[in-house]
């Protein structure tokens, strides 16, 4: 088959789906029409391909498939999780801690560093696991939706059902109304064929296809009508990546943008890291100065190493390693819950991004409306019926009923399905063919008539005549023969000036009264009887008006972007509350794209409707709003506007005149940009979906291309589901801030208590393992509890936050400072004045027993001063003359436990403490932990809501976390011993430390009465409709806050 058409020549057949005339010209000139191309491909259009040709053609022109985008494996996702700044700093701190620990204490020095690395490992595993399971979930949904698809082809002269991916160039495909077009092809058999190309070109109306004119059919589009034929046939000329939507698919490449929360968390991590390093350096410097003043010789090096370990510990404490885990847990929890709310999250970060969306650019059909034409009002001979009453047929007079329902049922070319393949009732009827006719058939069904049965009863295809809709006459008709031999003509149609359908009939005694040629062309008559006038529209979804109002009250600008004419668009937008004629602006696509970037910026705050818009208009609108995809320099600008230089555009002369502008100009006009959510269902929407901060594709009507380009799939196609996504997104954002409020309180107190303890010459009050308990266990538990708080509708009562708004709000800062101050005062009191509450407790990590004499020495405790003196004289090689000092013994003469360096009093003695009393620091540690447990309840509110128990019963996980944390704290205190350097506490000591921590609860209530409000400049978004009306009278208004 070496003499077949060259692949490049075949690919050049279609330059664009919109260029019908140019495409037809190339077909005729280069291939002598469809039949000529078939001959060149050696295709018999009546028999289809021979089996032996299929593989040869597949090798020559490619397969009707796309290389599946490789799914990232778990290992790759695991590796990508380490791109997080916080995790990288943690790993560095862990390595330093591990090295120093092993040098100083080879037996247990590895514990601190390994524990930190384990915390990092948990975060990375959870992140990778959630990303992997999310990808698997979407792939499974995609596979389920595709595996049952089959197309009919002619091969070897017989009809065969094959999977679309098995098609090759030259295949003859047989299609019926409602079929998706599986590849680009040329129509060669069929009359009255129409296809809907809105998913590819944005053209909302069905387009007529004829073999002798516009015969081009495109993959990803749908066949809507085939006239009076049962089916139509096309020959495939382009498959897979060479098809028109394959070419669009190949352009969908963009760099992932950081979400606002990710940007803020990165900045927060850097800030916390700088503060931690500053404290660590200051502590290390102060300790080295003290060491240098008090010690000399080899001892200085040992002390400096200890000081460095303390500094590293401070850095570890300062970094909130629980923060990325909290983000992951909150996103994963919300993602699962959002799936139940009809939101399939494809990009995990899109969940929180939706929370601060300032714009939603929404399609009309299927999102705001039902996507099903419906009869809503009518005049039936002598009655006017509106609303729900039209669905009741009892009020019809017998005279009207017979004529109307017969016209509805017989005079149609569409079919309507009320049940699925399993015989179950569909949630809404499926119309194949004209949506307008479908509305009338559904109306007849609601009256109790089965259209298929009625047509079978009254219409005889061999005897009667059917006249499909004619664009010149603007009506469709059917001529039937009555049992008595008379004839009746049923017609339905509409005048240009009317948005209604008229149903009429005309009776004829016999065929002699009809015009010649009536078998082909419907009879014309000025005396037809008008039976009914039916008003039909695609009604708004029942929850749209409320959902739009909710979004607007949340400071989100809802914009309708549609291909409808501007009058229709404004009417529908006004009905659902999007368009306010007194304030808003409605533009048509051609006018919009002709504007200068500066002019667009001026109108954007009031632009509520963009009608007669193309997919590129939607893309330009999105990029102008958020700045994504705008050319960054002259090279990119020329590549976008005049790649080949044929238009003669100049960067200097035209850069400020063409949308979407260029980056430098955009940044001058827009300080931060908008956070934009865009809905889309067609292939042509893919570029806008990718440019948006959150792309929202439709799960029911959306094409595969749109879904692959989107971040969230709206499974039920409802606008109200998008609003719920905003609520969940804000819930994620606030949950992270709740955890941050809790986490920073923990870290501020821990950092300062270790810093102050080190400067006072004491051992760190919280040792490294205590730190890891607080930082790993407490943080993980806190992330689990606060990251899974369910959102409430109250979140939609405020506007979204700006991209650059601080994560820590003024009320949060108040809460952190009050709780941190209380905890620090409490812990310093316990550190320096433990005897006030616990008189029997020895201060610091007091020594219970000493080792004297090195490896051969023995442990002594409870000796009198004289016994001790005698032992030292016998053991030490260079004991002092007077070795019994009262300061080392209590009044009874027993050895007094102290942290004094006894070895300094006995030159030549090798003395080390063999047993410590950890009770003092254990009490401090227990009080500190219970302060955090009770403050975790306080952290449930980041605003002024003092009732921190509100809704707690609805979050059993939070309660479980508190209980588990208490149990683990008990175990680590009572069973940790030398490993954790904790001591057994008495019942009284437990009771007092828990009570001290519980003070955080009443303090949390009182601190919320301190009058602190959020900074108004932290918010962005748009004014509510009421605020818009109030501001519209002022110069320039103030819509964008």
Does residue 1001 contact residue 936 with C-beta atoms inside 8 Å?
A: no
Interacting residues of 704 by C-beta distance below 8 A, sequence separation 6+ = 142, 146, 220
Strand partners for 360: 558, 677
CA distance 136 to 124: 18
Find the catalytic residue in 112, 171, 184, 363. Answer: 363
Does residue 155 contact residue 51 with C-beta atoms inside 8 Å?
A: yes
CA distance 1022 to 327: 27
Tokens describing residue 308 = 């460095």
Distance of CA 788 to the CA centre of its chain: 17
Token pair 């009207």 is at which residue? 400
- DSSP conformational letter for 694: E
- DSSP conformational letter for 255: P
Q: Can you give the length of the chain in residues?
A: 1041
Does residue 217 contact residue 202 with C-beta atoms inside 8 Å?
A: no
Interacting residues of 767 by C-beta distance below 8 A, sequence separation 6+ = 921, 980, 981
Token pair 């109108």 is at which residue? 603
**Long-range pairs of 955-961 with CB within 8 A, sequence gap ≥ 24:** 955/785, 955/788, 955/789, 955/790, 957/784, 957/785, 957/788, 958/785, 958/786, 958/788, 958/789, 961/781, 961/782, 961/784, 961/785
Does residue 556 contact residue 359 with C-beta atoms inside 8 Å?
A: yes
H or E element, residue 1011: none
Interacting residues of 934 by C-beta distance below 8 A, sequence separation 6+ = 997, 998, 999, 1000, 1001
CA distance 558 to 943: 28
- DSSP conformational letter for 835: G
Does residue 363 carry a catalytic annotation?
yes
Q: Which of 574, 615, 707, 597 is nearest to 656 (CA)?
A: 597
Q: Which of 796, 929, 906 is nearest to 852 (CA)?
A: 906
Interacting residues of 304 by C-beta distance below 8 A, sequence separation 6+ = 288, 291
3-class SS of residue 384: strand
Angle at 276 between CA 273 and CA 281, to 5 degrees: 120
Token pair 């529908």 is at which residue? 572
H or E element, residue 936: helix 919-938
Per-residue buried b or exposed e for 409-421, using 16+ beta carbons within 10 Å of the residue's own CB = bbbbbbbbeeeee
CA distance 62 to 14: 17
Q: How far apart are the first and last CA of the chain?
A: 67
Q: What is the CA radius of gyration of the chain?
A: 39
Interacting residues of 567 by C-beta distance below 8 A, sequence separation 6+ = none
Strand partners for 193: 209, 226
H helices, E strands: number in the chain = 37, 29
CA distance 834 to 828: 9
- DSSP conformational letter for 516: T
Strand ranges of the sheet holding 383-386, from the earlier edge strand across to the other edge: 383-386, 374-380, 529-537, 500-508, 487-493, 475-481, 465-470
- DSSP conformational letter for 789: P
CA distance 116 to 97: 9
Give the strand pairing for 383-386 and 487-493. unpaired
Active site residues: 363
């Amino acid at each position: 088959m070496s003499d077949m058409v060259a692949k490049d020549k075949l690919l050049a057949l279609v330059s664009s789906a919109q260029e019908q005339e140019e495409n037809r010209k190339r077909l005729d000139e280069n291939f002598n029409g469809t039949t000529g191309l078939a001959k060149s491909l050696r295709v018999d259009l009546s028999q289809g391909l021979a089996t032996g040709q299929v593989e040869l053609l597949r090798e020559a022109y490619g397969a009707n498939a796309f290389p599946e985008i490789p799914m990232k494996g778990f290992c790759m996702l695991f590796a990508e999780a380490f791109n997080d700044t916080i995790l990288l700093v943690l790993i560095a701190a862990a390595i330093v801690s591990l090295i120093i620990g092993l040098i100083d204490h080879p037996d247990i020095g590895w514990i601190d560093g390994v524990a930190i690395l384990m915390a990092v490992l948990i975060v990375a595993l959870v992140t990778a696991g959630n990303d992997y399971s999310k990808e698997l979930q979407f792939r499974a949904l995609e596979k389920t939706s595709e595996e049952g698809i089959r197309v009919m082809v002619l091969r070897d002269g017989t009809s065969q059902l094959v999977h679309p991916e098995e098609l090759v160039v030259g295949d003859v495909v047989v299609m019926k109304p409602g079929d998706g077009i599986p590849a680009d092809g040329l129509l060669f058999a069929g009359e009255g064929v129409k296809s809907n190309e809105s998913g590819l070109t944005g053209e909302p109306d069905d387009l007529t296809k004829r073999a002798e004119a516009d015969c081009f059919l495109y993959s990803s589009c749908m066949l809507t009508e085939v006239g009076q034929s049962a089916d139509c046939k096309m020959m495939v000329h382009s498959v897979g990546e060479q098809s028109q939507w394959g070419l669009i698919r190949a352009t969908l490449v963009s760099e992932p943008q950081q979400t606002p929360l990710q940007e803020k968390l990165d900045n927060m991590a850097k800030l916390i890291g700088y503060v931690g390093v500053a404290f660590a350096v200051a502590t290390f410097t102060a300790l080295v100065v003290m060491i240098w003043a008090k010690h000399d010789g080899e001892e200085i090096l040992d002390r400096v190493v200890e000081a460095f370990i303390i500094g590293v510990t401070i850095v570890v404490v300062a970094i909130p390693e629980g923060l990325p885990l909290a983000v992951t847990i909150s996103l994963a929890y919300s993602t699962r819950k959002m799936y139940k709310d009809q939101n399939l999250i494809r990009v995990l970060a899109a969940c929180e991004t939706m929370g601060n969306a300032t714009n939603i650019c929404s399609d009309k059909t299927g999102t705001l409306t039902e996507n099903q034409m419906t009869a809503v009002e009518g005049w039936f001979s002598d009655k006017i019926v509106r609303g729900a009453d039209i669905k009741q047929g009892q009020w019809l007079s017998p005279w009207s009923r017979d004529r109307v329902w017969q016209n509805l049922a017989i005079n149609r070319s569409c079919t309507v399905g009320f049940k699925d393949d399993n015989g179950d009732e569909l949630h809404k009827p499926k119309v194949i063919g004209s949506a307008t006719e479908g509305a009338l058939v559904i109306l007849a069904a609601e009256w109790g008539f089965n259209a298929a049965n009625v047509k079978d009863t009254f219409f005889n295809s061999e005897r009667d005549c059917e006249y499909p809709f004619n664009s010149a006459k603007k009506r469709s008709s059917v001529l039937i023969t009555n049992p008595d031999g008379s004839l009746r003509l049923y017609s339905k149609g509409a005048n240009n000036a009317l948005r209604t359908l008229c149903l009429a009939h005309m009776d004829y005694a016999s065929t002699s009264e009809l015009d010649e040629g009536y078998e082909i062309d419907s009879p014309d008559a000025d005396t037809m009887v008008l039976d009914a006038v039916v008003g039909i529209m695609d009604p708004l979804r029942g929850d749209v008006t409320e959902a739009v109002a909710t979004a607007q009250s949340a400071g989100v600008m809802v914009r309708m972007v549609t291909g409808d004419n501007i009058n229709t668009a404004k009417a529908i937008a006004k009905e659902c509350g999007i368009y306010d004629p007194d304030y808003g602006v409605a533009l048509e696509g051609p006018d919009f794209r002709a504007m200068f970037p500066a002019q667009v910026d001026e109108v954007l705050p009031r632009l509520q409707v963009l009608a007669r818009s193309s997919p590129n208009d939607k893309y330009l609108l999105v990029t102008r709003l958020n700045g994504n995809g705008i050319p960054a320099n002259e090279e990119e600008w020329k590549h976008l506007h005049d790649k080949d230089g044929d238009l003669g555009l100049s960067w200097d002369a035209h850069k400020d005149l063409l949308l979407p502008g260029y980056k430098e100009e955009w940044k001058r006009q827009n300080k931060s940009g908008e956070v934009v959510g865009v809905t889309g269902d067609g292939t042509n929407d893919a570029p806008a979906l990718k440019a948006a901060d959150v792309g929202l594709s439709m799960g029911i009507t959306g094409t595969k291309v749109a879904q692959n380009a989107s971040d969230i799939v709206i499974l039920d196609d409802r606008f109200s589901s998008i609003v719920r996504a905003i609520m969940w997104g804000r819930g994620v954002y606030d949950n992270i801030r709740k955890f941050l409020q809790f986490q920073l309180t923990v870290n501020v107190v821990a950092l300062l208590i270790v810093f102050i303890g080190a400067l006072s010459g004491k051992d760190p009050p919280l040792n490294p393992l205590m730190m890891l308990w607080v930082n790993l266990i407490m943080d993980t538990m806190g992330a689990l509890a606060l990251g899974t708080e369910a959102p409430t509708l109250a979140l939609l009562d405020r506007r979204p936050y700006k991209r650059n708004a601080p994560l820590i709000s003024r009320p949060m800062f108040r809460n952190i400072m009050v709780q941190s101050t209380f905890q620090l005062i409490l812990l310093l009191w316990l550190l320096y004045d433990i005897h006030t509450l616990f008189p029997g407790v020895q201060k610091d990590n007091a020594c219970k027993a000493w080792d004297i004499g090195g490896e051969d020495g023995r442990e002594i405790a409870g000796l009198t001063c004289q016994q001790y003196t005698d032992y030292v004289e016998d053991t030490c090689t260079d004991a002092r003359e007077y070795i019994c000092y009262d300061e080392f013994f209590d009044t009874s003469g027993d050895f007094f436990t102290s942290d004094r360096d006894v070895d300094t009093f006995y030159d030549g003695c090798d003395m080390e403490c063999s047993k410590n009393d950890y009770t003092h620091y254990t009490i401090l540690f227990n009080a500190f932990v219970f302060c955090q447990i009770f403050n975790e309840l306080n952290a449930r509110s980041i605003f002024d809501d003092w009732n921190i128990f509100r809704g707690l019963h609805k979050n059993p996980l939070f309660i479980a976390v508190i209980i588990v944390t208490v149990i683990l704290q008990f175990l680590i205190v009572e069973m940790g011993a030398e490993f954790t350097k904790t001591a057994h506490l008495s019942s009284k000591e437990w009771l007092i430390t828990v009570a001290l921590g519980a003070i955080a609860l009443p303090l949390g209530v009182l601190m919320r009465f301190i009058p602190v409000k959020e900074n108004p400049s932290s918010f962005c978004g748009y004014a509510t409709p009421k605020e818009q009306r109030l501001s519209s009278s002022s110069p320039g208004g103030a819509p964008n806050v």
